[in-house]
Amino acid sequence: MPRKEILKTTRRLTEPFIVTKGKDFRLKDFDPTDTRGLIDKGEAAQLLERGVQWLAEEQDMLYAQDRWSVLLVFQAMDAAGKDSTIKHVMSGINPQGCHVSSFKVPSKEELEHDFLWRYIKRLPERGCIGIFNRSYYEEVLVVRVHQDILARQMLPPELVSERIWDERLTEIANFESYLTLQGTVVLKFFLYVSKEEQKKRFLARLDRPDKHWKFSASDVHERQYWNDYMAAFEETIRATASKRAPWFVVPADNKWFTRLVVAAAIVEAVERLDLHYPKVDAQKKAGLAAARNALMQEKEKAAPRARTKKA
């Protein structure tokens, strides 16, 4: 399929799920089971393969150019498919230019710092792709739903008020705006799974011994707070979606569709950068020609003969 055709398809895939204007965002306008009826599964697999290949080519140029960086943020409820989406979409990527950071419960050292500290340390350098498997958004999601976590963050009490969530959301929006103006492309993915599908996936994990390691009893406990999480996600997206750093609310009840939308969004964003290999100037060209000459004129030195032992 020619590139132009692929781009048309990616646009069709991403357009319904991109949020660039938070003010108008309502979670109820999105459906976790949505697959748009655009394509069948076989076609989807083919498209994904092409997208992954494309991404690999673009990444090579991103790295060579060494100007832009890309930050991909993944947020979701448990079992929404963050890990497997990251694995599939990035499967063609050169590990040298890509780094995945998974953020868990913060350590004692991390709690001794401002809330962005541990995330800033993991930002991608120029030419590289950074993937955040959970991110600074946990600071307005899990921390907001379970406010005892906030109490552990060692903040001076006079700085903690009801306004803290709005303040954090503004700080995050400003932080992302700063990053984009420094040459980091920021894309944020909320893998939107339904509560019913999560239950199915948990039960499937319980049925499979090879998946038991992924199961945690606390994941089931968290289901009690489902509505609180959804409210927190909605407010978060409303406050932090922008043209510069858009959210994608990706339907996550069908994994094949989730992967496709995420791949399409990344391909599109990277394509927009119009990447190319750095131009080689005349001086460098002359240097290359000289190097070629030197290599061609090099006399092959005879390989030293192996000494034969005297009997």
Of the residues 214, 223, 244, 255, which one makes contact with ligand ATP according to CB under 6 A: 214
Angle CA 262–268–270, to nearest 5: 105
**If binding is defined by CB under 6 A, does position 228 make contact with ligand ATP?**
no
Cβ at position 260, least distance to ligand ATP in Å: 20
> What CA–CA distance (Å, rounded) separates 147 from 92?
40
Query: Which pair of structure tokens corresponds to residue 12?
Result: 């069709």
Site string for ligand ATP, 88-107 (x = CB under 6 A): --------------xxxxx-
Residue 50 contact among Mg ion, ligand ATP, none, beta carbon within 5 to 8 Å by kind: none
Of the residues 38, 116, 149, 273, which one makes contact with ligand ATP according to CB under 6 A: 149
Considering beta carbons, is residue 191 or 265 the nearer one to ligand ATP?
191
Residue 271 contact among ligand ATP, Mg ion, none, beta carbon within 5 to 8 Å by kind: none
**If binding is defined by CB under 5 A, does position 234 make contact with Mg ion?**
no
Contact 194, 33 (CB under 8 A): yes
**If binding is defined by CB under 6 A, does position 78 make contact with ligand ATP?**
yes
Q: Which residues between 60 and 99 bind Mg ion (CB under 5 A)?
A: 78
- Number of helical (H) and strand (E) elements in the chain, helices listed first: 13, 6
Angle CA 278–284–290, to nearest 5: 140
> What CA–CA distance (Å, rounded) separates 238 from 78?
22
Considering beta carbons, is residue 78 or 271 the nearer one to Mg ion?
78
How many other CB atoms are found less than 10 A from the CB of residue 234? 17
> What CA–CA distance (Å, rounded) separates 264 from 10?
5
**Residues that bind Mg ion in the complex, under the rule CB under 5 A:** 78
**Residues that bind ligand ATP in the complex, under the rule CB under 6 A:** 78, 83, 102-106, 134, 138-139, 142-143, 149, 214, 216
